[in-house]
Amino acid sequence: MTTSSSVPGAVISASEGLAALVDVLAEDRTVIGPTCRDGAIVLAEISTADELPHGCGVELEAGRYRLVSRPDAMIFAHSAGPQSWKTYLHPQRERLWTVDRDARGRLAFQAEDVAPPAYAFLGVRPCDLRAIAVQDRVLGGGPHTATAYRRRRERAFVVAVECTDPGATCFCTSMGSGPGVGREDGDAAAYDLALTEVLDDEGHRFWVRAGSPAGERVLGRLPHRPGDAPSRVAAREAVAAAAQHMERAMPPVDLHALMAGSLDAARWDDVAARCLTCGNCTMVCPTCFCTTTEDVTDLTGDHAERWQRWDSCFDLDFSHLHGGPVRASARSRYRQWLTHKLGTWHDQFGESGCVGCGRCIVWCPVGIDITEEAAALHAESADRQAAAEETP
């Protein structure tokens, strides 16, 4: 039913409503959503709502991830998994062009021009919603637009899901990126549909808001009832409770200024002694975008291809110039990553490169915590300032 209501939004059931949503999206799109697989909640192509992680939860800590069973049937009551949506919008590896040499030795170059898939992303967390917006600015805006990214992004349908059960490593509240998705009437630039999962005495359901005309059209095709005040209040309270349960936070200071003033901090030596420079933090980060290119050829030498793939500032060769790398030490490479993420990203793109998802904390093999490092740098900076003020 599509009857209007004085309460903005609508309500769909967690059974037939969600099943219908997947069916409608799958008619002309590849639906990507969270699934329980290989001991984690991972993103994958799904064809039915039954493949979503019903009753699955996670236990998180620095360097630790465990999939657990929940005592209820909640579907999206889990934190972000090891993947982010950049896996689909900014793939790990993609071909840029090919070149072939004919019998007369002439070269023919051909740019890659494959029509991008039309994705429907189901279950985008508020922190990941912000991350997509960040990458839109980095890769989809400015004078040097990544054309392939922009084409994939333009065709993507985004179903956001507000967070009601944050993990122990989440700190989106302190980054202003969650656990809610923003204004109740939606944000057309951010999502097409926004869901808030509610499970109480009134049943298992989703509070739904449309954020775009495309979202309104999809919602109109779903079995739903008009929004009601109890469901709206329950959804709001669940999100508010999630904000109160956030266990980690960035220090409440100007992180841009803190990073700029901490380049010579002793703390960098401490973290460098623990960091393996493996690059896991950049691989799981939903906003890290660095790439490199590699050329490959066949055995005849008559056909070659250029591929773009993810790279990391933790890679020793990432800053390689003639004579060697610019950042040869673990100290310099970790400092580059953190000061860029929290500091100079503002200079380049006008916002932070961190959205508070906590993935870098969970998937660091030695459990380095970005919030702990920022707090330590803040404490050291405060001690230096206090000492300077005491000096006559």
Tokens of 180: 């809610």
Tell me the per-residue pLDDT of 305-334, one tens digit each, with 9 for 90 and over: 999 999 999 999 888 888 888 899 999 999
Residue 294: enclosing H or E segment and its boundaries? strand 291-297
Q: How far apart are CA 382 and CA 96, in angstroms?
A: 48
3-state class (DSSP) for residue 349: helix
- Name the pLDDT band for 133 (thresholds 50, 70, 90): very high
Residue 7 has a pLDDT of 52
- The average pLDDT across 268-297 equals 96
pLDDT digits (tens, 9 = 90+) for 62-81: 999 999 999 999 999 998 89
Percent with pLDDT over 70 in the chain: 96
What is the rounded average pLDDT of the residues 159-170? Answer: 96
- Which residues, 6 or more positions from 361, have their beta carbon under 8 angstroms from its beta carbon? 60, 62, 63, 169, 248, 367, 368, 369, 370, 371
353 neighbors 342 (Cβ within 8 angstroms): yes
Enumerate the domain spans of the chain: 10-244, 255-390
Q: Name the average pLDDT for the chain.
A: 92
Q: Is 82 exposed, middle or buried (0-12, 13-18, 19+ CB in 10 A)?
A: middle
Q: So what's the pLDDT on residue 69?
A: 94
Tell me what the mean pLDDT of segment 54-59 comes to.
Answer: 95
Coil, strand or helix at 172: helix
Rounded Cα gap, residues 283 and 86, in angstroms: 10
In order of 90, 133, 136, 144, 149, the CA distances from 139 in angstroms are 9, 10, 6, 8, 7
Whether residue 6 is predicted with pLDDT greater than 60 in this model: the reply is: no
* pLDDT tens per residue, range 215-266: 999 999 999 999 989 999 999 999 999 999 999 999 999 999 999 999 999 9
